[in-house]
Structure 1
Amino acid sequence: MPSFFILLAGAFLLFYSLHTPTHSATAPNGDALVSGQALTAGSGNKLVSRNGKFALSFFQLHAPPSEAIVISKSTPAHSTGWYLGTWFNKIPVFTPVWVANRERPIAASELNLTQLKISRDGNLAIVILSNNATFETLVWSTSHSLNRTPAGTNRNTTTVAAVLMNTGNLALLPESSLSNGAPLWQSFDYPTDVGIPGVKLGRNKVTGFKWQYISKKSLIDPGLGSYNLGIHDDGVMFLGPRNPPFVASWSWPPGELADGLLTVLNGLLDSDPRTKGLFKPSYVNNDQEEYFTYTSLDESSLSFASLDISGQVKLYLWSQAKQSWETIYAQPSDFCTTYAVCGPFTVCSSNSHPSCECMEAFSRRSPQDWELGDRTGGCVRNTPLDCTASSNKSTASSTDVFRPMTCATLPYDPRSVGNATTQSQCVEACLSDCSCTGYSFNNSICSVWNGVLLNVNQDDDGDTVFPEDVLYLRLANKDYLQSLVRNNNKTEPRAFIVETIIACFGLVMLVLLLLIWRNKFKCRGTLVNIIQLNGGGIIAFRYTDLVRATKNFSERLGGGGFGSVFKGTLDDRTTIAVKRLDGARQGEKQFRAEVSSVGLIQHKNLVKLIGFCCEGDKRMLVYEHMTNGSLDAHLFQCNSIILNWSTRYQIATGIARGLCYLHQSCRECIIHCDIKPQNILLDASFAPKIADFGMAAIVGRDFSRVLTTFRGTAGYLAPEWLSGVAITPKVDVYSFGMVLLEILSGRRNSPEVYTSNSYHASYFPVQAINKLHEGDVGSLVDPQLQGDFDLTEVDRVCKIACWCIQDNEDHRPTMAEVVRCLEGLQELDMPPMPRILAAIIERPDVPSV
């Protein structure tokens, strides 16, 4: 009997060993996987290149932050899939450079049955074994066939091995020639969204095979995304959507790739000290192939090119000092240039941290996808349009209204309506079509859009948007009314069609009401502005409303020569700041300047004007309340929060974007004339907003200068103010440069007390440019930061500031150039010493303006 049980136990063990999946295969060792071995998903094993630079195994993407976990037995299940891929092995930031099964993730329930192995037909394959090991499901292989085959099928006995090369290339080679054999297959021929040195970008002219980048779907989904980069059969290098319509966001014509594009790339790499001498881009074009690639001249450096989720091509370089990736190059540089980058019914803003926002009365289709970088779903209406088609489907009835969207580009793919020669006819043409979602009327040309609206951009870099190009967005009447109640700061104009008699009657009544308003409140000289502003989104408050909102002006936030600012709360609990203008003449002038300049513009770096009050001598302006007060308080008051360097850099960039918008993106150029820390307000997240437009000057687009009275604050005044010449936006550039220096140092540029012997030494702009020339900008930084700052950014800020405060306005950059410099997209040379500062050094008894 004992012998019988021993035999039975032996038979059971033999049966179990024959039917146990992958675990019986030996694990790979080093950089190679040979026949008979398997890389098991649950084991934590991986291939590592001989130089240790790259590794390959199964992983799962996580975001944010951009991380991944190499799977092991202790890894918990996750809703996202698992992938096989290659990544940089020696850095703490997980960065995949190639993914095998990007369109077929492995579920958590399949992990223990998943292997990478050399299949019996000689291919490298990812397989999932059935529980009884009878069948295996082919997830991915170098033969690119997806099927189910019996586990014991033997179709090819070729002995091959998979080797992870020092270059990061995963190659399938004959075992007899691993060191110098030609690859039977290699991952470099199938790039995903990333290219490392040695990866080709181009085409095989004989076979038609293409090496191209295809963006990934999101931060946690490396599947095929919306954009691709490659060389077409006609020789055009094309960057744009992967699916129709094929609208290029960037392209390079054939015949100019060798000399033109290659020259540009070499120039960019050589001009940047971080990349000079590190890379060598090359272009090959012969009878068989045409492709771009690049090689690394320094084996210790780490870099990769990536086609981003947003459709931008970016070149990254690993910074050992910062322990992070630095963006060296981006094309196109403007995030919003890419077709449909934000999805339908969105507005795109261009900056270093590009933003996509839903249009009024729309909400994100999938907030989770947005957080993961995939905004292609865009936004959807909160309320469906009210439109009923007639029986013959040629007309429709609707109660919908239109909201004008100014300072934005018109959407993609308009349709012209030839028989609509007036704006009323254009409105009617859109309302009579239930698929119409917006219209524009310019120079007697009516354009309408049907279906989704794409590529509506608000350009923060300063490209002019003509005031005539206004998109009128179609909204449900319910959403329009709700927006008035919810925001309490929008009274958008309604587009509607009425019969002639009703229109005339309404016009007469409006005129009578305005006459009564003027006689009752005696608001001299401001009636025209009020009429215009009521059509532009500002609320006219009653004086009693503001008395109640501010609790009889009991909580004073601050003030100046114009009057005082008080904190208040509206009925819907919106916190406001009420500026009460003092004095008849000064109050009138301040009121006119503020409402005419800031009243009709909206920008995230400009303080929002909610409304106004004009009753007799009572003139008040109602703004959004800024939680963190003014920049002045945080820089110069000892009991305030110390702003770290990252926040200061963010504030500087935000101010620059706001000024750029005022100078170049509004209907008329607005010169602020009084840029200083007191007029920079900070919201709850310390984002800056430019405030106090009481001294602003408006310049028509047909003029480059304006002659105006002397205005501004000592210490921030450009030299041309003293000469009495007509000014340009460059006076704001000068003031911005002085503010930059104060952000850098944490103290005022001009000392409160000085003597003829000490002034030149203590005037900070003099110190700044001297230290910049000496290469010692680190000593200029606010000592309260205790050395915790980015030296590269400090040097950049100091250079920009010293260029901004040049005596000659022609030598100062524009605010658009300043924005690009702060974003790292443009470099500046060493600025010269301004003549006025040189005079201060030579004559210390002469104080600065």
Structure 2
Amino acid sequence: MSQRQSTSRCNDAACIFFNHVKRHRSWHQHPPTPKSHSSCLSSSFTMLCIFIILVSLLFSILSPACSAATDTISASEALLRNQKLVSRNGRFALGFFHPDTDSKFFPRHTLKHWYLGIWFDKIAMLTPIWIANRENPIVGHHRVIKLTIANDGNLVIFNQATRSTVWSTHASITAKKSMVVLQDNGNLILRDASNSSNVLWQSFDYPTDVMLLGAKFGLDKVTGMNRVIVSKKSLADPAAGLYCLELDPTGANQFVLEFCNSSIVYWSTGEWNGQFFNSIPEMSGRTLFDFKFINNNQEKYFVFNLLEKDLITVCFLDISGQMKQLIWLENKQEWATIYTLPKDLCDIYATCGPFTVCNSNALQEDRAGGCIRNTPLDCSTKNQSRTATTDKFYSLPGVGLPTKANIIEAARTADQCALACLNNCSCTAYSYGNRCSVWYDDLLNVRQYRNGTTNDGEILYVRIAAKDAESWSHDKSGKGKIIGAVVASGLSSATAIWVLVICRNKRKQFSAPPNNVQGGNGIVAFKYSVLQHATKNFSEKLEGGFGAVFKGFLGGSTPIAVKRLGGDRQGEKQFRAEVSSIGIIQHINLVKLIGFCCESGRRLLVYEHMPNCSLDTHLFHNHTMILNWSTRYQIALGVARGLACLHESCRDCIIHCDIKPENILLDGSFVPKIADFGMAKFVGRDFSRVLTTFRGTIGYLAPEWISGVAITSKVDVYSYGMVLFEIMSGRRNSCKQDTSDDDHAAYFPVQVANELLEGDVRSLLDNKLLDDVNLDEAERICKVACWCVQENESNRPTMGEVVQILEGLLELEMPPMPRLLQAITATGSLY
């Protein structure tokens, strides 16, 4: 969009704004004529009116919210709970709040974390314009917190329960006594109690995400203080976010919007020309604000004030990376947006996330989560050859190229440029115009031009897996299918590269109600702070062997289990395996993956919560309830059905590789669900076996793991058989029997094979079951277990056959004694 077009759009918005102002002003100058109150003043109602007035006055005196309705706090005073300071003009209030109201800035579903903030006291919608402890919320009940002046004269938030300071002004104070004043402009100051001109600290020097009227915004050259505006992390978390607005670090008399903690500037105001910033000519036509830019030996700052004193307005840096000016419409009881800068969301760095194409004409929606590949690149997985990769390129014409291009001077043709990209495993795209440009890792800031032709932009060649290249090359509708599929998936501000990616909408982590979180087929990308809040900082660890797992609640009511993985390479592999395997399938006997988090090296998986923990807690621990035989049999059948689904019903055969009681979770009705897919392995339907690294748990490993041969799904069958032995006995397979002096005979699978041949099944069962056992079912499980642990994998049944056997649809012959178990009996060694 040209500068002229942008100006026109902004001028249109300004005209609408001024119309609102005129209506607002005329309402105040000529308010509607009130109806007659003669009825209340008549003799029959006089006493009733007097009584109502007296009761109202008495209530206002006793109300705790009004007991601190003053603008100051002295050294001997404190601000508690629902009390508040109110500026003398009644415009601003300071107090504790939790962002659970339906406001412009905080959605209703936010968790109850408490903050100290300043807001507009005259409007119904909570709109904080400054927050003291944005990085350190108070978790828990707000009754234990207070705002007071500490012994050193600083203003502090004090947690009376923990006897600790949550937040402090941290000023160097030499005054004997200090006091707090909330000024009429919304500035909270800490000053010398005996000298009002000696300001020790003020909130105007520490802005959050709002440019406050009357506040100096910029640099104090004497002290070095630089006042920077930082966006919120999210709608649910007011902590510092991704985007910053500050004076141009190069020294130019302008402000820049930038990606925080980087040198990436995506928009600037243009330099100050004495009346306005060059990139914001609309400032010159505004009669409601007084703008000033000061640059002298001591200070360099921008300040603006409102000339229309009755209006309520706020200018803030949104989580989208845009500066927004809002005005409060009293008649509608809502905020109206006057203007946004920059006007085009596609001008904002990384607004659409990695591997997306930003479309300026689309509806605005949060797409910062970006997208991930459908299929990993050949070079980045099993094939490390730089000359034999099967990866291909997909062309995107008519786009603005991503940022941070790397120039390959040696590549003088398009073919050489493509080859240079293929020869680097980190290269994800290239473009060749007058020179060769390549990009590594994530692609950011790809922009879709209006017509999508080479005349409007350049051609970007995106690297994709051969499998995905084949899928779109066979499609006759070509690009139309790609765009059509994207539109159908509901992507608004970012058009995903459909052949590349599975898109993840990060907005769901904040706005999706609990029933959506657990009801949809898609998985959600959570922010770490959301899961930290949901689990109360990972304070409640769940029992069982399912890794480091913590209980939490989404939206305050939906229970979840959050699994925390390590930050090493193994943790990365486990994370990818779990998301790519369990994330794509749904089955009653497979634990449901709700979402995940991959942020700043942290990797977490969010599952549905299983209230009855894992199977091992009920089999091997005395403090839990005893599972009766019927429940145990249904657990065995459910696990078999889950494994059959993984092996036989998915597009690829999924081998779990770590079946054991710790990875079998039980819901509220003791329905089993297989969990922990961190070691899972995919096997294409065109292949019968796969060679992979050693994985699993000693005691449940099939012998082929030890021999190093390629594995099949029969390794899960073997592990399942070992689990069946433990379900029957209620103890570990390797535990010794107190009644036996023979260590070798203590290995339970050997006992099962021997007793099954002799027909004495009852002696194999858990003593805690007493006589409440179906012996036909017990014999069936014994046979299945012994067949499952045969050393020759071809002799083991498939999991589909196991399901049919346990359902009574197939009969089994008596199994032979596995030679491996005989060897264990002879040597006393497991392997």
Q: The TM-score by the shorter chain falls in which range?
A: 0.3 to 0.5
State TM-score, norm by structure 2. Answer: 0.46
State TM-score, norm by structure 1. Answer: 0.45
